Amino acid sequence: MKQFLLIFLGGGIGSFLRYLISKTLNSHYPNFYLGTFLVNILGCFIIGLLIGLSLRNNYLSQNQMLLLATGFCGGFTTFSTFALESHILLKEHSILYMSVYLGLSIFIGILAIALGLYLCKLL
């Protein structure tokens, strides 16, 4: 139960910060989603630091990783997890799988948004 609460707490904080940063910066730069872009890049950097610290002599505990990597970074941006998984595939020399994962995630993600919008027009 403690682990679920850590993820919940981290996710809530991450989501709140993502909203605050995106809302503030996106409204100043309406032709480029600067806030979303910065949140995604910052989330990737943070999850890289966390994974690096975790791998380095177990610097972070499992609970700290759940709070920060799974919770905070997951709430802050799922792009960080997407980028990490892509990096893992690249590191494992799975170029084909990484390319398919990247391509399908982006392409089908955009199609899923279009389908959702289309279905709402039918209602």
Is the model's pLDDT at 98 over the cut of 80?
yes
pLDDT digits 0-9 by tens, 24-81: 998 887 778 888 889 989 988 999 899 888 888 788 899 999 999 999 999 998 788 8
Tell me the domain boundaries of the chain.
Answer: 2-77
Q: Output the CA–CA distances (angstroms, integers) from residue 76 to 52, 68, 107, 109, 123, in the order listed.
A: 19, 10, 22, 19, 32
Average pLDDT over residues 8-12: 97
Q: Where would I find the H helices in 1-123?
A: 2-28, 34-55, 62-65, 74-76, 79-91, 95-122
74 annotated among ligand-binding-site residues = yes
| pTM of the entire predicted model | 0.76
Buried b / exposed e over 92-115, threshold 16 CB at 10 Å, is: eeeeeebeeebeeeeeeeeeeeee
pLDDT digits 0-9 by tens, 101-120: 999 999 998 998 889 888 88
* Phi-psi label, residue 58: left if phi above 0, alpha if psi -120 to 50, beta otherwise: left
**Start-to-end Cα distance in the chain:** 40
User: Residue 122: what pLDDT?
Assistant: 82
